[in-house]
């Protein structure tokens, strides 16, 4: 894959049933200084930031600090009430919220409902990297300050009726998390990373020393490798502004897998013992995160849809064409100078969880498609017995 894509550096990590079995780096983290990649190399994880932020919201909901059916203004009073075709969106009190960052709690989340200027609307099908927003250089001191980028833009659709992948929506969700937790968003996430055992995961600051940080690259219109331009990701911490290692990402994947599969433990006498400790989230919460949200079918993958911060592909078997798609949960990411994917393949969990294969791949080159690569790596390990 490194040779096929011409990537300067690639980092890969794999676990089976919660046990690390492979973590390695290939190529260069820094070409100019001849610094090699390793499993400890820190890279931009881009949109894998979204599952982390979704987990934070889910945790607050479990603790009773976040009301998913409350108007967005309960948490972000400065965010204007939105209208669509001159009609204010009012939620029926009996209507169930579909997702933490969706119709109600983040009623203007552009992942689900869409707020975007006319300038962006006419070109929304273009490559994301053609949008100047991707190359923002300004620093935003708070998530509330970053909301000014889009808070006055109109909705693209009636909330809850259509799907549009967004990153700005997660900035709004970050402000909600900040309000609900009564903590600075980055401080809250720092504690979450610590609780998850992600010791090398952090928000990206250009001026801070981040040990083992890679350099980032892209190709110009002649195909030549060049340094990626300077960007400041403070406008999208929750949607694409975190950095991590493949080992940390696999740790996170296993935490989610364990939480989900603890719901399959039938012997309640063993629950809470050292062998069956509670997961980071309750099983029913993890199940909701991995449930396809209405109107997202076929998005992210032709056979799946979008959940709460995850692309979800249910198991599917077509005997006529000998096609068997395994249950798969993943999120990929593309940032300036970086590409990423975290993929989880759950397996039979009627024994001690976590059961399944988790794969993480990070690349310090822009616009490298990693979904097929991660699935191929998972396939190599899913029949391995430890």
Please give the positions annotated as active site: 47
How many angstroms separate the Cα of 215 from the Cα of each of 32, 34, 43, 333? 9, 11, 8, 17
- Alpha helices by DSSP H, listed for the chain, are 2-5, 49-62, 118-121, 143-146, 168-181, 185-195, 237-240, 246-261, 283-289, 371-381
Q: 315: cis peptide before it, omega within 30°?
A: no
| DSSP 8-state assignment for residue 23 | E
> CA–CA separation, 193 vs 201, rounded Å?
7
DSSP string, 228-239: PPP--GGGGHHH
Q: 316 — alpha (psi -120 to 50), left (phi > 0) or beta?
A: beta
DSSP string, 208-225: S--TTBPP-EEE-TTS-E
Residue with tokens 């030549």, as numbered in its chain = 224
How many angstroms separate the Cα of 323 from the Cα of each of 197, 320, 344? 37, 8, 20
| Those residues with Cβ within 8 angstroms of residue 181's Cβ, 6 or more apart along the chain or in another chain | 60, 65, 188
Contact 278, 272 (CB under 8 A): yes
Residue with tokens 């909600």, as numbered in its chain = 176
DSSP string, 147-178: GGGTTTSPBSS-TTS-----SHHHHHHHHHHH
């Amino acid at each position: 894959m490194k040779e096929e894509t011409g990537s300067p550096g690639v980092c890969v990590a794999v676990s089976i049933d919660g046990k690390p079995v492979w973590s390695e780096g290939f190529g260069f983290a820094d070409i100019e200084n001849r610094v090699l990649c390793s499993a400890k190399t820190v890279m931009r994880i881009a949109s894998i930031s979204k599952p982390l932020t979704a987990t934070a919201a889910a945790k607050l909901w479990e603790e009773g600090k976040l009301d998913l059916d409350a108007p967005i203004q309960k948490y972000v009073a400065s965010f204007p009430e939105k209208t669509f075709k001159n009609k204010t969106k009012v939620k029926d009190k009996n209507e169930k919220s579909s997702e933490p960052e969706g119709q109600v709690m983040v009623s203007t989340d552009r992942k689900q409902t869409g707020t975007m200027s006319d300038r962006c609307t006419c070109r929304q099908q273009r490559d994301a990297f053609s949008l100047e927003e991707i190359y923002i250089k300004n620093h935003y001191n708070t998530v509330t300050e970053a909301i000014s980028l889009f808070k006055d833009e109109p909705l693209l659709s009636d909330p809850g009726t259509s799907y549009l992948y967004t990153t700005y929506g997660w900035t709004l969700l970050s402000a909600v998390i900040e309000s609900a937790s009564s903590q600075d968003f980055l401080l809250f996430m720092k504690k979450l990373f610590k609780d998850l055992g992600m010791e090398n995961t952090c928000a990206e600051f250009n001026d801070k020393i981040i040990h083992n940080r890679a350099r980032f690259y892209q190709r110009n219109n002649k195909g030549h490798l060049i340094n990626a331009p300077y960007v400041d990701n403070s406008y999208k911490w929750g949607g694409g502004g975190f950095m991590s290692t493949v080992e940390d990402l696999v740790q996170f994947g296993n935490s989610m897998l364990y939480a989900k599969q603890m719901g399959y433990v039938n012997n309640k006498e063993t629950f809470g013992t050292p062998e069956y400790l509670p997961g980071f989230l309750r099983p029913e919460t993890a199940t909701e995160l991995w449930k396809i949200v209405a109107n997202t079918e076929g998005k992210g993958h032709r056979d799946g849809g979008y959940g709460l911060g995850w692309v979800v592909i249910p198991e599917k078997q077509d005997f006529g064409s000998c096609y068997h798609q395994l249950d798969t949960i993943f999120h990929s990411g593309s940032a300036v100078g970086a590409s990423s994917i975290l993929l989880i393949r759950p397996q039979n969990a009627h024994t001690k969880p976590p059961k399944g294969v988790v794969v993480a791949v990070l690349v310090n080159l822009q616009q490298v498609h990693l979904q097929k690569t991660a699935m191929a790596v998972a396939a190599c390990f899913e029949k391995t017995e430890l």
